Amino acid sequence: MNISRRKFFFLFAGAIFFLEKKLSFGACCSADKTFLAASALTEVGSSNNQKADFLNPIQQKNLEMFIRVVVPHQGEAFDRAKKITFDRIVQSFSQGPPPFEQNKLKSYLDHLQNSAQDLFKRDFYQLSLSESTLLVKKTEQQQVFQDLLNQVLAYFYNDRGVWTALGYPGPSMNENGKYLGGYVNKGFDELGW
């Protein structure tokens, strides 16, 4: 999935802004725990330790593949953040959304699986990145895709390890809302992207 630097920056900055301010931005993160209810952004165990009872093993692997498709970065810090993103999504589903919301995610993952079987005769998680991207692109207009994408990007880009790997200097305000002087003369203009 090719993404321009400008679009990436706005997605990144938007995710950081909304997470730092704890505002809701769409159905995935609303306070009343609608689709993909947001939980406290705390560190959880690796994806080997945190598994969802409501997802079967193939659905879990398909969710991990979906995250790999929508997050284009490669490298150790990014792989760690992808595992944490998977764990946080699983945790958010385990802590409160109604069963019909869990079923939306399961249905979407099953749809990706069935499409992969029909087109490539393999499981979705076994497809190459280009093949899986093709299938995911076919679902871009579905609301469940948009909600899941928002959740993945918010969790992924809130990881401070990702900030360091990207060269992002951090927010211009701290957690208490204290203004830290913005980005002027702090190296922001020196980033490679």
For residue range 116-160, list pLDDT tens digits in order. 999 999 999 999 999 999 999 999 999 989 988 988 888 888 888
pTM over 0.85: no
pLDDT digits (tens, 9 = 90+) for 62-78: 988 998 899 888 888 78
46 lies in some domain: no
**75 lies in some domain:** yes
Domain contains 14: yes
Instruction: Indicate the SS3 state at residue 77.
Output: helix
Assess if residue 51 is contained within a domain.
no
- What's the number of domains the chain is made of? 1
Better pLDDT: 32 or 82: 82
**pLDDT exceeds 60 at position 181:** yes
Domain-embedded: residue 129: yes
Residue 169 lies in a domain: yes
Burial of 86 (0-12, 13-18, 19+ CB in 10 A): buried
d(CA 116, CA 122): 6
| DSSP conformation class of 75 | S
For the stretch 159-178, pLDDT in tens is: 887 887 777 777 777 777 77
* 129: containing domain: 5-41+56-190
pLDDT band at 11 (very low <50, low <70, confident <90, very high): low
**Pairwise CA distance, residues 8 & 70, whole Å:** 11
CA distance 64 to 148: 12
DSSP state of 51: -
Q: Could you tell me which residues come within 8 angstroms of residue 149 by beta carbon, excluding any fewer than 6 positions away?
A: 70
* In-domain check, residue 134: yes
